[in-house]
Structure 1
Amino acid sequence: MTLFGLDEAVVTELTAGVRSPAAAPGGVQPADAVPLDAQLTDTQHDTRVSAPEEVFARAAWTTIAEPGDGVAGAVVGLLGAAAALRSVVEAWPPDRLAGTLTDTVNEYAAGDPAGLRPELEQALSRWRPRLSSTEVIRSLQQARRTGTALLLPSDPLWPVGVGDLERHAPLALWWRGRTDALAALRHSIALVGARAATGYGEHVALEAAAGLVDRGLAVVSGAAYGIDGMVHRSALASNGTTVAFLAGGVDRFYPSGHDALLTRIVEAGAVLSELPCGAPPTKWRFLQRNRLIAATTGATVVLEAGWRSGSLNTAGHAAALGRPLGAVPGPVTSPTSAGCHRLLRDYDAICVTTAAEMAELMGVGVDLELDLTGVDGTDGRQGTRERTSDQVRVFDALSVRAPRVPADIARRSGLSTTAVLGVLGTLDLEGAARERATGWVRVT
């Protein structure tokens, strides 16, 4: 039997190597490693698809389509990755593909695939020249050699925030590092800024990252020179969790001057990309990478940025997604802070000057205290501040006995899943909620 023209045994062997968590330093799996290889359900057709077929198809799409390709996202979302790939392999004409999409929508979903018809011809002309089984095989082999794993949207560790990107969401994510770092993205904040950082900006970055990881948040950035690099270094120095998103393959660290830093991030955190191993970074891919930084985190803070800094692109994505956006002011005479002042003036960014104020963007209070002994000598919580309206809504949506997943809590509370995740982190710190294997419960 063959899959996409390849022997099924070959596909199975290739994909098996990228469905286990990336090995920790020395080839030892983290203690909390979670197997990722499982039979997956094609929800559009309500039939089982083989894990190797799905994994190979997702890997192939990361080589065929550029990051953020909305047509690819729509086609894969309607047909499933394997069926969508087969339509490209078999060189379906645009009319046939459009007709299949229409039939799928009529039978299984709601929407208007007819709107895709004008885009399909151009999309197919983009994808077909890049269709190469040799390229997919090479990327899978390189991933296995470098301890790189492939994360799929059906996986428990998939960052839920990227769902807000809708059809522009990544089709898969290649990653290296620790599984607990991926889980920490549920309670993470993005810290970004200019490559040409000043001493002032680097000091702000150092203090911000250290203060945020001390509050239990993971910090996310892009591993660039300047502010990004300082953010990652500070988080590592504080024994916190940090995650870097790259604009190229995770097997070829960029910038090269941060090779040692990225190696440390792999050891203690995680490095992710939607590009396959071997893919070079390009300007477009940097811009698209920024949308992932904004989408996976609960808030974005720009620490120092010039008028045309690339970090303003990340801020724009955060604003478009409805994420809280913060900016650190600088000297009014400094051109390296002009971008932050622009965000404060024109984009309704919130002025933040300390890690505590940045944490507030995530719903983590500055004066949240846990006094485990209590003023009367009993075990109780004293000094906990009054809950915000979002915290009250999430708390009310929890059950004492029945664990509920964030998506269910979001539906019950009327909040976004991202907002719910941020609030759950605060309630967990208070001791008012606890996460179990099957979901969250209220603690009375």
Structure 2
Amino acid sequence: MRRGGRPGAADRRAARGAAGGGAAVTAGGAGEPTSARSARAALTRVLEPGDERAGRWLRQLGPDELLRRFTAEDGSAERLPGMTAARLGGYRLRAAAADPGRDLATVAEAGGRFVCPGDREWPSQLDDLGDARPVGLWVRGRPDLRLWSLRSVAVVGARACTPYGAHMAATLGSGLAERGWVVVSGAAFGVDGAAHRGVLAAGGATTAVLACGVDVAYPRGHAELLGRMVEQGLVVAELPPSAHPTRSRFILRNRVIAALTRGTVVVEAALRSGSLATARQAQRLGRFAMGVPGPATSGLSSGVHELLRGEGVLVTDADEVVELVGDMGELTPDRRGPVLPRDHLDASTARVLDALPYHGAARARDLARAAGASTDETLGRLYELHSLGFVEREGDGWRLTPPCPSNDDARRGGT
């Protein structure tokens, strides 16, 4: 895996297949010994997500030794760099209550699994988070998390979104799904839920990254939606089963969404918004940050517009997102206005047509003077325009053919 979540050719082929059909998996793969896996499961109950200091200890000592120090009375934990008595007291209280066997059994009964760094299913782009990477991930759903994450885009935004925001999120979700991309979001009300529903309606692939346990339906109003995602997609969390969300966990969850995907699209966000934090985290990780513009008068679009004033990229549909995050050749179709009948006229004929008055008739000599052409040439152009239906003869003069009201501007070539 290259930095920024851009996979190699083999990974891209595997990701397309996984997003289309969903490869069934039953375990995360034997990346670490059973004792280390059990220790990591316990540490997800001891450590808060994104704890970089603890992540550094984990990298240096390994999960077994770190967990042992949290429970031992030999003074080894006190010697950890940056450890304080208050911090150690909290760790020990949680470690004493941790029961990794119970947590692993609980998630297995729910049809899930625990995925650790080094497992075949571990998305290696999460390693870009450094010491803030997850200790492990609790996963529910049949598809392979690593393969789905290779070709994924985050769609996030305001919880209290407008109908416009919900429509854009659902449209982006379904459009990306139809193009074989996995849509990742946080399963919250508003934009997140609309994006997930858009994907599910299109029969596509979607992943929800939660700020609670994978067996907790939060928000409660999305219990049915989360159930559909378990059946059709993936539900992922850093926190162990039964863990409940807090304000800080929502913010820290966003770093996983940013790291897991190739880019983040923000659909409606105020100036103070967790969605903007996700986009900025994506930028720090070398991913793409994109924003969907909204009304300049809307406070729910002010954060997106601020992102776009910086290094964010403006997008309006799935094609533009894929052009940015996709492979070479995945370009947005050329966009242009409708072709008008006048567009087919050559320059000289168009000048004669422009010389005709909007109302009433004009003689050929007067039209020639206005068009800057000879009378004979002007007459030739007028007969050409007559054969094409643009003008008609009226006595010694010429006039515009009365158009249908809906075609008035089109006939004259107006905007």
TM-score for both structures, normalised by structure 2: 0.71
Among candidates 325, 331, 334, match of residue 362 of structure 1: 325
1:314 counterpart residue number? 278
Deviation at 1:86, TM superposition (A): 1.2
Among candidates 96, 99, 104, match of residue 140 of structure 1: 104
Deviation at 1:147, TM superposition (A): 2.0
Stretch deviating more after TM superposition (308-317 or 162-171) = 308-317
How far apart in 2 are the matches of 1:237 and 1:148? 24
1:225 and 2:189 matched = yes
2:38 counterpart residue number? 56
1:255 counterpart residue number? 219
1:73 counterpart residue number? 55
Question: Cα gap change, 1:53/1:171 in structure 2, threshold over 3 Å: closer, same or farther?
Answer: same
Secondary structure, counterpart of 2:144 in structure 1: helix
Deviation at 1:127, TM superposition (A): 1.0
How far apart in 2 are the matches of 1:301 and 1:276? 28
1:198 and 2:162 matched = yes
8 Å CA contact 1:54, 1:81 repeated in 2: yes
8 Å CA contact 1:305, 1:339 repeated in 2: yes
Deviation at 1:120, TM superposition (A): 5.8
8 Å CA contact 1:178, 1:270 repeated in 2: yes
Q: Give the count of matched residue pairs.
A: 311
| 1:207-246 mapped onto 2 (5 Å cutoff) | 207-246=171-210
How far apart in 2 are the matches of 1:320 and 1:121? 33
8 Å CA contact 2:104, 2:113 repeated in 1: no
Secondary structure, counterpart of 1:240 in structure 2: coil
Query: Unaligned 5+ residue runs, structure 1?
Result: 1-29, 41-50, 99-116, 370-444
TM-score for both structures, normalised by structure 1: 0.66
Deviation at 1:80, TM superposition (A): 1.1
8 Å CA contact 1:290, 1:313 repeated in 2: yes
Secondary structure, counterpart of 1:131 in structure 2: helix
How far apart in 2 are the matches of 1:135 and 1:126? 16
How far apart in 1 are the matches of 2:51 and 2:146? 24
| Sequence identity (%) | 43
2:375 counterpart residue number? none
Deviation at 1:57, TM superposition (A): 0.1
Deviation at 1:299, TM superposition (A): 0.4
Question: Cα gap change, 1:159/1:120 in structure 2, threshold over 3 Å: closer, same or farther?
Answer: farther
How far apart in 1 are the matches of 2:73 and 2:27? 35
Question: Cα gap change, 1:287/1:303 in structure 2, threshold over 3 Å: closer, same or farther?
Answer: same
Q: AA paired with 1:312?
A: L
How far apart in 1 are the matches of 2:136 and 2:52? 14
Query: Unaligned 5+ residue runs, structure 2?
Result: 1-21, 334-415
| 1:141-220 mapped onto 2 (5 Å cutoff) | 141-220=105-184
Deviation at 1:119, TM superposition (A): 4.1
Q: AA paired with 1:202?
A: A
8 Å CA contact 1:174, 1:275 repeated in 2: yes
Deviation at 1:123, TM superposition (A): 4.1
Among candidates 13, 24, 33, match of residue 32 of structure 1: 24
8 Å CA contact 2:125, 2:260 repeated in 1: yes
Question: Cα gap change, 1:144/1:157 in structure 2, threshold over 3 Å: closer, same or farther?
Answer: closer
How far apart in 2 are the matches of 1:326 and 1:274? 25
How far apart in 2 are the matches of 1:173 and 1:183? 15
2:401 counterpart residue number? none
2:75 counterpart residue number? 93
